[in-house]
Amino acid sequence: MYIRLAFDKQCLESEAVFLKLSKRIHHNVQFFKQQFNDSTDLVVRQFSISIPGIREIAGALIFFEGLISSHLITNAVLDPILHEASRFQQPIDADILSFLKESVLTNAEHSETNDANKVVLAIMMGEAALLVDGYNACLTIAVQDWEHRAIQSPESEGVVRGPRDSFVEAINRNLMLIRRRLRDPSLVFERIQIGNRGQNDVVIAYVKDIANEELVNEVRKRLNKIDMDVILDSGYVEQMIEDDWWSLFNTVQDTERPDEVVAGLVEGRVAVLVDNSPFALLVPSTFNSQMLSPEDYYVRWPAANFVRLIRFIAAFVAFLTPSLYIALISFHPEMIPTQLSLSIAASREGLPFPSIIEALIMELSLELLREAGIRLPGPIGQTVGIVGGLIIGEAAVNAGIVSPIMVIVVAMTAIAGFIIPTYTLSFGVRISRFFLMFVTSILGLYGLTLGILVVLGHMATLTSFGVSYLSPWAPLSLKDLHDSVIRSPWHGLKKRPSYTKADDPTRQGQRMPKKSKKKQNRGKQKQ
């Protein structure tokens, strides 16, 4: 965004790009007031700098109230200027602004500029602009101190073993959480501003000697193409940079865990962080990477594999169970064991609806309860989810609308869906489940098989920054299968995932750990 107002035309170098400040301070003050429409939270603090042997020089500080620290603006800026400027013993034509920058404002981060556009942007970002009469430049001083939420435990990606901190809305704190974990000089943060009206900070994070340069350039390219008024959350960026915006499945992974971002960076992936958003984005992303939990790497490999198998099975249960129930009840009852078939028939006796209507009633009721539980306050939401499900299920069975077996099927589907670790991925599974239900209600098991092939075929066509969404299964990558449904011990995870095309593919040394002395002694005794 560039400011295109006529101001100090003698100093205007480029009408569209560069707008130079005036040497007269009252012109500059009036200009900034005009730019911000005399907003009530705009503070213009005017003062005089008394220098021996020179007349008093007018100065002004311009900032937004609430975005800066009043303590810092007083102790690190105003007090030094008013008390230390008396030490200025240079000739009258010396550069007072440079003296303030180099000898007075030593405790504050600042930069000098004469571009009015940059000053306007700096003020909106929470910096203070220091103007001195007689100079067509100013100092922008970083004294931001807005209110932000404390670092808390992750709400959507909880673990039993592992770090308990999560990202917050302040992007500088989020960068600190990443830097504290990955103390690598090759870790790079690139900051850009996106938004035509409300410019928001967006940071690209990657490890320079690991991440593929083509991937980093592609992320930069897509971010620079975003042309929106304002970016309020990383969800805006996610939807603007993904490969297939029309798909049910997300091809950009979002996470609120710093440890997961760091794990992605050392795999050769690129992270995107947005100011005012507690969720970071990771690209490229695959179905497999979104089905993994950070806790899988914090526990020993047998426990991790056991939990992973349950998780992948649960994903298929959440995806297939209602459709399979409809197919068996409506089209293929001969495939059900006799005793179970008789029990189901007895429970469905007198029901007024076919199985597809029965399933839709319960599934839609489940979705309503899920959304109600999310929107209501915490304790009330949990009560609505649990009590509402029990009451509605019991009432529906007693009223003869649905069968008890349908309540069990929907309960299994709901529980299995909660096991999916990535919240946005569960949306694709939930919506696809309705598609399978409709196809199955028409064609039975044939329709179920056809629907599964359609969904899998669609997922096989998806890409995330050029990477197949079903990697490492399609196309098949044998060396990446050791960290998919089954995880190898850490000693076997020597290479980074091949789909990231990392410049440094080696994750750890090739040497296996030495056997303990007890095992060596046992081997000698056997010999």
Write down the mean pLDDT value for the chain.
84
Q: Is residue 110 part of a domain?
A: yes
Q: Summarize pLDDT for 103-160 with one digit per residue, the tens.
A: 777 666 788 888 888 888 888 888 889 888 888 888 888 877 666 778 888 888 888 8
Instruction: Say what the pLDDT of residue 510 is.
Output: 56
Domain end call among 285, 319, 345: 285
User: What's the average model confidence in pLDDT over 160-182?
Assistant: 91
Q: Is residue 450 part of a domain?
A: yes
* Least confident among 84-93, 290-299, 418-427: 84-93
The pLDDT of residue 12 is above 60: no
Specify the DSSP element, H or E, that contains 173. Answer: helix 171-181
Highest mean pLDDT among 56-60, 425-429, 518-522: 425-429
Domain end call among 96, 125, 142: 142
Q: Is residue 474 part of a domain?
A: no
The pLDDT of residue 524 is above 70: no
* Least confident among 181-185, 386-390, 477-481: 386-390
Residues in the chain: 527
Answer yes or no: do 192 and 129 share one domain.
no
Strand order in the sheet with 109-113: 42-51, 54-64, 127-132, 138-142, 109-113
Answer yes or no: do 229 and 348 share one domain.
no
Q: Quote the CA–CA distance of 301 and 491 in Å, as a whole number.
A: 10
Answer yes or no: do 176 and 89 share one domain.
no
User: What's the average model confidence in pLDDT over 230-244?
Assistant: 93
User: What's the average model confidence in pLDDT over 284-302?
Assistant: 93
* Least confident among 83-92, 264-273, 499-508: 83-92
Tokens of 89: 């013993």
The pLDDT of residue 338 is above 60: yes
Band the pLDDT of 398: cuts 50, 70, 90.
Answer: confident
Answer yes or no: do 448 and 341 share one domain.
yes
Answer yes or no: do 440 and 325 share one domain.
yes
* Least confident among 103-107, 312-316, 409-413, 439-443: 103-107
Instruction: Say what the pLDDT of residue 4 is.
Output: 36
Q: Is residue 511 part of a domain?
A: no
Answer yes or no: do 229 and 339 share one domain.
no
Q: Is residue 158 part of a domain?
A: no
Q: Is residue 499 part of a domain?
A: no
User: What's the average model confidence in pLDDT over 172-176?
Assistant: 91
Q: Summarize pLDDT for 34-69 with one digit per residue, the tens.
A: 888 888 888 888 888 776 665 678 888 898 887 887
Q: Is residue 494 part of a domain?
A: no
Q: Is residue 300 part of a domain?
A: no
Answer yes or no: do 263 and 316 share one domain.
no
Q: Quote the CA–CA distance of 68 and 166 in Å, as a whole number.
A: 25
The pLDDT of residue 274 is above 60: yes
Asked if residues 421 and 296 have their Cβ atoms less than 8 Å apart, the reply is no
User: What's the average model confidence in pLDDT over 419-448?
Assistant: 92
User: What's the average model confidence in pLDDT over 349-370?
Assistant: 86
Answer yes or no: do 235 and 120 share one domain.
no
Number of domains in the chain: 3
> By residue range, what is the domain housing residue 72?
9-142
> Which residue has better confidence, 162 or 269?
269
* Residue 120, CA distances (Å) to 23, 126, 188, 305, 447 in order: 17, 10, 27, 54, 60
Answer yes or no: do 24 and 119 share one domain.
yes
Q: Quote the CA–CA distance of 504 and 527 in Å, as a whole number.
A: 42
> Which residue has better confidence, 94 or 388?
388
* Least confident among 3-12, 73-82, 506-515: 3-12
Instruction: Say what the pLDDT of residue 400 is.
Output: 81
Answer yes or no: do 108 and 227 share one domain.
no
In 3-state terms, what secondary structure has residue 44? strand
User: What pTM does this model have?
Assistant: 0.81
* Beta-sheet strands, E only, within 309-362: none
Domain end call among 423, 452, 468: 468
Answer yes or no: do 407 and 449 share one domain.
yes
* Least confident among 147-151, 214-218, 252-256, 332-336: 147-151
Answer yes or no: do 258 and 330 share one domain.
no
Band the pLDDT of 522: cuts 50, 70, 90.
Answer: low
Q: Tell me the CA end-to-end span of the chain in Å, nearest whole number.
A: 78
Highest mean pLDDT among 3-12, 143-152, 273-282: 273-282
User: What's the average model confidence in pLDDT over 169-180?
Assistant: 91
The 8 Å CB, 24+ separation contacts for 485-489 are: 485/308, 485/309, 485/312, 486/305, 486/308, 486/309, 487/296, 487/297, 487/301, 487/304, 487/305, 487/308, 488/301, 489/301
